Amino acid sequence: MTDLDTKNSRVGLIVAGTAVLMVGMAYAAVPLYELFCQVTGYGGTTQEVASVDDTVIDRDIKVRFAASTHRDMAWEFKPSQGDQRLKVGEQSLAYYEAYNPTNKTIVGRATYNVTPHKAGSYFAKIDCFCFTEQVLKPGERVDMPVVYYIDPSIDEDRNLDEVTEVTLSYTFFALDGEEAQEAIVASGR
Protein backbone atom coordinates (compact mmCIF):
# COMPACT_ATOMS: atom_id res chain seq x y z
CA MET A 1 0.00 0.00 0.00
CA THR A 2 1.38 3.39 -0.96
CA ASP A 3 1.48 6.50 1.13
CA LEU A 4 -1.37 7.95 -0.97
CA ASP A 5 -3.52 4.84 -0.44
CA THR A 6 -2.97 5.07 3.32
CA LYS A 7 -3.98 8.74 3.36
CA ASN A 8 -7.07 8.04 1.22
CA SER A 9 -8.08 5.16 3.52
CA ARG A 10 -7.68 7.39 6.56
CA VAL A 11 -9.79 10.16 4.97
CA GLY A 12 -12.42 7.60 3.96
CA LEU A 13 -12.63 6.25 7.52
CA ILE A 14 -12.91 9.75 8.95
CA VAL A 15 -15.70 10.65 6.51
CA ALA A 16 -17.56 7.38 7.19
CA GLY A 17 -17.14 7.81 10.95
CA THR A 18 -18.41 11.38 10.75
CA ALA A 19 -21.45 10.26 8.74
CA VAL A 20 -22.28 7.52 11.26
CA LEU A 21 -21.87 10.00 14.13
CA MET A 22 -24.16 12.53 12.42
CA VAL A 23 -26.88 9.92 11.81
CA GLY A 24 -26.61 8.82 15.44
CA MET A 25 -26.89 12.41 16.66
CA ALA A 26 -29.93 12.97 14.44
CA TYR A 27 -31.72 10.02 16.06
CA ALA A 28 -30.68 11.07 19.56
CA ALA A 29 -31.53 14.77 19.14
CA VAL A 30 -35.30 14.54 19.65
CA PRO A 31 -35.29 12.40 22.83
CA LEU A 32 -32.39 14.38 24.30
CA TYR A 33 -34.10 17.69 23.54
CA GLU A 34 -37.38 16.43 25.06
CA LEU A 35 -35.52 15.35 28.19
CA PHE A 36 -33.72 18.70 28.41
CA CYS A 37 -37.00 20.61 28.02
CA GLN A 38 -38.83 18.49 30.59
CA VAL A 39 -36.08 18.96 33.15
CA THR A 40 -35.58 22.70 32.62
CA GLY A 41 -38.98 23.92 31.42
CA TYR A 42 -37.16 25.38 28.39
CA GLY A 43 -39.23 26.23 25.33
CA GLY A 44 -42.51 26.33 27.24
CA THR A 45 -42.23 22.74 28.38
CA THR A 46 -44.47 22.09 31.34
CA GLN A 47 -43.60 20.20 34.48
CA GLU A 48 -45.19 16.83 35.25
CA VAL A 49 -46.05 16.30 38.90
CA ALA A 50 -47.24 13.36 40.97
CA SER A 51 -48.98 15.34 43.72
CA VAL A 52 -50.69 18.69 43.90
CA ASP A 53 -49.93 21.56 46.25
CA ASP A 54 -53.32 22.59 47.70
CA THR A 55 -52.39 26.27 47.76
CA VAL A 56 -54.73 28.40 45.66
CA ILE A 57 -54.07 32.13 45.40
CA ASP A 58 -56.30 34.99 44.36
CA ARG A 59 -54.83 35.48 40.90
CA ASP A 60 -56.89 34.64 37.84
CA ILE A 61 -55.29 33.14 34.78
CA LYS A 62 -56.81 32.16 31.47
CA VAL A 63 -55.61 28.96 29.83
CA ARG A 64 -56.17 28.65 26.08
CA PHE A 65 -55.97 25.31 24.30
CA ALA A 66 -54.54 24.71 20.84
CA ALA A 67 -54.06 21.58 18.75
CA SER A 68 -52.38 20.66 15.49
CA THR A 69 -51.16 17.64 13.59
CA HIS A 70 -47.96 17.07 11.69
CA ARG A 71 -48.47 17.05 7.92
CA ASP A 72 -48.07 13.24 7.84
CA MET A 73 -50.74 12.66 10.50
CA ALA A 74 -54.19 11.89 9.10
CA TRP A 75 -56.08 12.40 12.36
CA GLU A 76 -58.40 15.26 13.13
CA PHE A 77 -57.30 16.69 16.46
CA LYS A 78 -58.75 19.58 18.45
CA PRO A 79 -59.34 20.84 21.99
CA SER A 80 -62.83 20.19 23.34
CA GLN A 81 -62.89 23.65 24.91
CA GLY A 82 -61.35 26.89 23.72
CA ASP A 83 -60.18 28.13 27.08
CA GLN A 84 -60.66 27.93 30.84
CA ARG A 85 -60.33 30.59 33.52
CA LEU A 86 -59.05 29.48 36.91
CA LYS A 87 -57.24 30.65 40.02
CA VAL A 88 -53.51 30.04 40.23
CA GLY A 89 -53.03 26.77 42.11
CA GLU A 90 -56.52 25.52 41.26
CA GLN A 91 -56.57 22.07 39.65
CA SER A 92 -58.46 21.80 36.37
CA LEU A 93 -59.43 19.22 33.75
CA ALA A 94 -59.44 19.80 30.00
CA TYR A 95 -60.06 17.46 27.08
CA TYR A 96 -58.67 17.10 23.59
CA GLU A 97 -60.45 15.06 20.93
CA ALA A 98 -58.76 12.89 18.31
CA TYR A 99 -60.53 11.24 15.40
CA ASN A 100 -59.15 8.78 12.87
CA PRO A 101 -61.13 9.33 9.64
CA THR A 102 -59.10 6.76 7.67
CA ASN A 103 -59.68 3.06 7.03
CA LYS A 104 -56.50 1.96 8.83
CA THR A 105 -55.27 1.89 12.42
CA ILE A 106 -52.94 4.81 13.15
CA VAL A 107 -50.59 5.24 16.07
CA GLY A 108 -49.73 8.76 17.19
CA ARG A 109 -47.71 10.56 19.81
CA ALA A 110 -48.22 14.13 20.99
CA THR A 111 -45.70 16.73 22.01
CA TYR A 112 -46.66 19.91 23.81
CA ASN A 113 -45.54 23.35 24.81
CA VAL A 114 -46.77 26.38 26.69
CA THR A 115 -46.62 30.00 25.61
CA PRO A 116 -45.42 32.38 26.76
CA HIS A 117 -42.37 30.16 27.12
CA LYS A 118 -41.32 31.77 30.37
CA ALA A 119 -44.53 30.44 31.99
CA GLY A 120 -43.89 26.84 30.92
CA SER A 121 -42.08 25.79 34.07
CA TYR A 122 -45.09 26.91 36.17
CA PHE A 123 -47.62 24.90 34.15
CA ALA A 124 -47.87 21.60 36.04
CA LYS A 125 -49.51 18.56 34.45
CA ILE A 126 -50.78 15.85 36.77
CA ASP A 127 -52.11 13.57 34.05
CA CYS A 128 -51.62 13.85 30.30
CA PHE A 129 -51.64 11.86 27.06
CA CYS A 130 -48.41 13.37 25.73
CA PHE A 131 -45.32 11.33 24.87
CA THR A 132 -47.33 8.07 25.06
CA GLU A 133 -48.51 6.17 22.03
CA GLN A 134 -52.19 6.61 21.20
CA VAL A 135 -53.77 3.91 19.00
CA LEU A 136 -56.91 4.77 17.03
CA LYS A 137 -58.71 2.25 14.88
CA PRO A 138 -60.46 3.31 11.66
CA GLY A 139 -63.30 5.73 12.44
CA GLU A 140 -62.46 5.81 16.15
CA ARG A 141 -62.88 9.02 18.15
CA VAL A 142 -61.43 9.49 21.66
CA ASP A 143 -61.41 12.16 24.33
CA MET A 144 -58.03 12.59 25.99
CA PRO A 145 -57.89 14.33 29.39
CA VAL A 146 -55.28 16.71 30.73
CA VAL A 147 -55.29 17.40 34.48
CA TYR A 148 -53.23 20.46 35.31
CA TYR A 149 -52.73 23.54 37.46
CA ILE A 150 -50.61 26.70 37.44
CA ASP A 151 -48.01 26.48 40.20
CA PRO A 152 -48.59 29.19 42.83
CA SER A 153 -44.85 30.00 42.83
CA ILE A 154 -45.53 31.85 39.56
CA ASP A 155 -46.69 34.69 41.80
CA GLU A 156 -43.17 35.04 43.23
CA ASP A 157 -41.58 35.47 39.79
CA ARG A 158 -41.68 39.23 39.05
CA ASN A 159 -40.90 38.50 35.37
CA LEU A 160 -44.35 36.91 35.12
CA ASP A 161 -46.46 39.58 36.84
CA GLU A 162 -47.98 40.62 33.49
CA VAL A 163 -48.90 37.05 32.46
CA THR A 164 -52.66 36.69 32.61
CA GLU A 165 -53.02 34.10 29.87
CA VAL A 166 -51.13 30.99 28.81
CA THR A 167 -51.67 28.63 25.89
CA LEU A 168 -51.24 24.87 26.12
CA SER A 169 -50.58 23.50 22.65
CA TYR A 170 -50.26 19.89 21.46
CA THR A 171 -49.07 18.54 18.12
CA PHE A 172 -49.72 14.92 17.13
CA PHE A 173 -47.21 13.00 15.01
CA ALA A 174 -47.88 9.67 13.26
CA LEU A 175 -45.69 6.73 14.23
CA ASP A 176 -44.98 3.92 11.81
CA GLY A 177 -42.88 0.81 11.41
CA GLU A 178 -41.82 -1.32 14.34
CA GLU A 179 -42.61 1.35 16.94
CA ALA A 180 -46.22 1.58 15.74
CA GLN A 181 -46.62 -2.21 15.63
CA GLU A 182 -45.31 -2.52 19.19
CA ALA A 183 -47.82 0.12 20.36
CA ILE A 184 -50.70 -1.70 18.64
CA VAL A 185 -49.71 -5.02 20.25
CA ALA A 186 -49.21 -3.37 23.66
CA SER A 187 -52.65 -1.75 23.47
CA GLY A 188 -54.31 -5.11 22.82
CA ARG A 189 -56.32 -3.57 20.00
pLDDT over 70 percentage in the chain: 83
Residue among 65, 68, 75 nearest 135 (CA): 75
β-strand 123-127 against 47-48: which pairing, if any? Answer: parallel
Strand, coil or helix: what is 23? helix
User: Mean pLDDT over residues 2-16, rounded?
Assistant: 79
More confident residue, 156 or 48: 156
Least confident of 52-56, 105-109, 175-179: 52-56
Please state the φ and ψ torsions of residue 94, each to the nearest 5 degrees.
-130, 160
CA quadruple 80, 86, 90, 92: dihedral, nearest 10: -10
Burial class, 170, CB count within 10 angstroms (exposed 0-12 / middle 13-18 / buried 19+): buried
Residue among 136, 142, 126, 146 nearest 175 (CA): 136
pLDDT at 132: 86
Q: How many CB atoms lie within 10 A of CB 8?
A: 12
Q: Could you give the CA distance from residue 48 to residue 34 in angstroms, rounded to a whole number?
A: 13
Residue among 75, 25, 76, 36 nearest 175 (CA): 75
Strand, coil or helix: what is 188? coil
Residue among 122, 109, 116 nearest 46 (CA): 122
Q: How confident is the model at residue 38 (pLDDT cuts 50, 70, 90)?
A: low
Q: How confident is the model at residue 149 (pLDDT cuts 50, 70, 90)?
A: very high
pLDDT at 175 over 50: yes
pLDDT at 43: 47
- Residues 6 or more apart in contact with residue 150 via CB below 8 angstroms: 61, 63, 86, 88, 89, 90, 119, 122, 123, 124, 166
> For 63-118, what is each residue's pLDDT tens digit?
999 999 999 999 999 999 999 999 999 999 999 999 999 999 999 999 999 999 99
Q: Could you give the CA distance from residue 172 to residue 73 in angstroms, rounded to a whole number?
A: 7
